[in-house]
A = this chain, B = another copy of it.
Amino acid sequence: MVNELHFDAPITPDLVQKVINEQEIRGYYDLVDQNLEALYTFQGEFEEHYPEVDNIVVIGIGGSSLGTKAIYNFLRGSQKLKRKIYFLESTDPVEIYDLIETIDLSKSHFLVISKSGTTIETISIFKCIYSRLDQKSQYFSFVTEEGSKLHQFAISIGSKTLFLPQNVGGRFSVLSNVGLLPLILVGVDIKALLDGAKSLKKEFFEGKAIQETLLKKATYIAKNYNVYHINTLFAYSETLKYFCEWYVQLWGESLGKVQQHGILNVGLTPIGLIGPKDQHSFLQLLIEGNRDKSVTFITIEDFGNGVSIPNIELPYLEDLNLVNGVDFNQLINLQAKATLLSLENVNIPVDTIVLEKIDEANIGRLLFYYQLLTSLVGILFDVNTYDQPAVEGGKKILKEMLQEIKEKG
C-alpha cells in the first residue's frame, strides 16, 4: 500500500509527539501486537466440535460489524474461504425474515457482538434467533467487554465469550476479537492481517516516508476545513464497497463533534464512491458542482485475475475496438487515472492509494492508515475522536416511547 499526495502542505509541529502521547492511552494502537492464543484455541475447539457449520452469522451493528464486512468482502472473491459470513444488523423485518428463511439455521453459528452488551438492535435480533433454536448454547458465542451483562448472560447459558479490550472504541475495534473472531472462523489469515497493520504503524512511528505523508495529509485536511469539508473516497473496485462504509463511520463519527476547548461544531463529511460505476453518478457533481470536496483514489494494482476483453470486431461498433485485447484489470486502473486527471484539470485536491494486491496484509495496512489519519485530524480539530455523545439522545427517546407503549399495554 502506497499513498501519494498530489498537493503540498506544511507539517504541524508537535503532531507526532501528540500522537505518541495519545497512543499510550488509546488501545487500538496496541492491537497489532496482541496475543492471538485465545483465538487460535477457540478456532481449534470450534473445528473439532462444529465441523458441519457452513455459516457464521454476525449479530452486531455499527462498529461491531462494519470492519468485519470490509475485510470479508475485500477478500472473498479472491480466496476460497471455507465458510460464509452473514450479517444481521438491521431491525428491518423483511431483511431478518429473508435471512432466517434463506440459511440453514442448524448449520449456522451465531456471534453476538456488542461492546456494552445492551445494544437494542443486537439483543432484539438475538432474542428472535435464540427463541427458534433448541440446545441453545452450542449455536452462540459472544464478543463483549469482560463483566458486561452480556458476558454474564453467556456464562449463564454455558456459551463462550471473547473480550473486547476496555479502552478500544467500537469503530476502532476491527482488529480486536470483534473482527478477528468471525474472520478466523471462515479461514482468513488474521496474523497476516495484523502484520499488515503493524508494518504501517512501525513505519509511521519510526519516521519512514509514510509519516511525512500522513502528517501532511492530516494538516492539509484540517487547514482547508472551511473549503474542503467533504472527503470523498473513490475506490476502483467493488471489493472495497464495504471498506467505504467502514470509512464513513470512522470519519463521520470520530470527527463530527463539539470541540474540546471551544463550543464550535466541527466535522468532515465522508463519502464513499466506487469506480467506474460512480463516474456515471457522482462525477458530474465533483467537477462542476460546488468545490467543497477532496478526493482520494484507491486502486488495486494486481487483481490476480485474468479476465480480458476478447479481440472481436462487431459490425457498427468498430469505434470500440480500442478496448479489444485489454484486460479488465488494466482498463479499470486506466479509468481511475483518467478520472483523476479530469479532477486535477479543475484543481480539485487529490491523492492516490495503491494496494499491490487483494490480500490480508494490504487491507490491514489500509485500515490502520485510516485509523491513524483519523486520530491525527482529531488532534488538529481539538475533538475527542473516540466518543459519540450525540447518539444517546435518540436512544433515550426510543426507550421512553417503548416504555409508554408497555404501560398502555
Residues of chain A whose beta carbon lies under 8 Å from any beta carbon of chain B = 61-63, 66, 77-78, 89-98, 100, 117-118, 120-121, 123-124, 127-128, 130-131, 149-150, 152-153, 156, 170, 229-230, 236-239, 245, 248-249, 252-253, 255-258, 265-269, 271, 274, 276-277, 279-293, 303, 305-307, 309-310, 312, 314-317, 319-320, 322-324, 326-329, 331-332, 334-335, 337-339, 341-342, 345, 358, 388-391, 393-395, 397-399, 401-403, 405-406
**Chain B contacts of A398 at CB under 8 A?**
334-335, 338
Complex-state Cα separation, A235 to B78, whole angstroms: 32
**Chain B contacts of A287 at CB under 8 A?**
256, 390-391, 393
Closest chain B CB from A361 CB (angstroms): 18
Complex-state Cα separation, A357 to B245, whole angstroms: 28
* B390-A288 in contact (CB<8A): yes
**Chain B contacts of A95 at CB under 8 A?**
77, 238-239
**Chain B contacts of A91 at CB under 8 A?**
276, 328, 331-332, 335
8 A-B pairs with C-beta separation under 8 A: A77-B97, A90-B277, A91-B328, A93-B303, A93-B306, A127-B312, A131-B310, A256-B285
- Extra contacts, 12 of them, besides A95-B239, A334-B401 (Cβ < 8 A), are A61-B280, A91-B328, A94-B303, A150-B317, A152-B316, A153-B315, A249-B280, A249-B282, A252-B282, A267-B289, A269-B269, A339-B394
- Once A238-B92, A276-B90, A332-B92 are accepted as A-B contacts, the answer to whether A255 and B63 lie under 8 Å apart by CB is no
* A401-B238 in contact (CB<8A): no
* A327-B391 in contact (CB<8A): no
- Once A267-B290, A402-B326 are accepted as A-B contacts, the answer to whether A66 and B281 lie under 8 Å apart by CB is yes
* B326-A405 in contact (CB<8A): yes
* B329-A127 in contact (CB<8A): no
Closest chain B CB from A86 CB (angstroms): 13
Complex-state Cα separation, A319 to B117, whole angstroms: 11
* A312-B131 in contact (CB<8A): yes
* A391-B280 in contact (CB<8A): yes
What copy number does this chain have within its complex?
Answer: 2
* A342-B394 in contact (CB<8A): yes
- Once A66-B281, A401-B338 are accepted as A-B contacts, the answer to whether A291 and B307 lie under 8 Å apart by CB is no
Centre residue among A91, A306, A307, A390 by max chain B CB count within 10 A: A91
Closest 7 CB pairs of A and B: A267-B289, A62-B280, A256-B289, A256-B285, A287-B390, A249-B281, A338-B398
Complex-state Cα separation, A245 to B358, whole angstroms: 26
* A149-B319 in contact (CB<8A): yes
**Chain B contacts of A393 at CB under 8 A?**
287, 342, 345
Complex-state Cα separation, A328 to B126, whole angstroms: 13
* B394-A328 in contact (CB<8A): no
* A307-B128 in contact (CB<8A): yes
Closest chain B CB from A98 CB (angstroms): 5
- Once A94-B239, A393-B342 are accepted as A-B contacts, the answer to whether A265 and B253 lie under 8 Å apart by CB is no
* A229-B338 in contact (CB<8A): no
* B315-A284 in contact (CB<8A): no
* A253-B314 in contact (CB<8A): no
Complex-state Cα separation, A236 to B127, whole angstroms: 21
Complex-state Cα separation, A315 to B155, whole angstroms: 10
**Chain B contacts of A77 at CB under 8 A?**
94-95, 97-98
**Chain B contacts of A305 at CB under 8 A?**
93-94, 97
**Chain B contacts of A94 at CB under 8 A?**
77-78, 237-239, 303, 305, 358
* B253-A284 in contact (CB<8A): yes
* A341-B289 in contact (CB<8A): no
* B282-A253 in contact (CB<8A): yes
* B274-A331 in contact (CB<8A): no
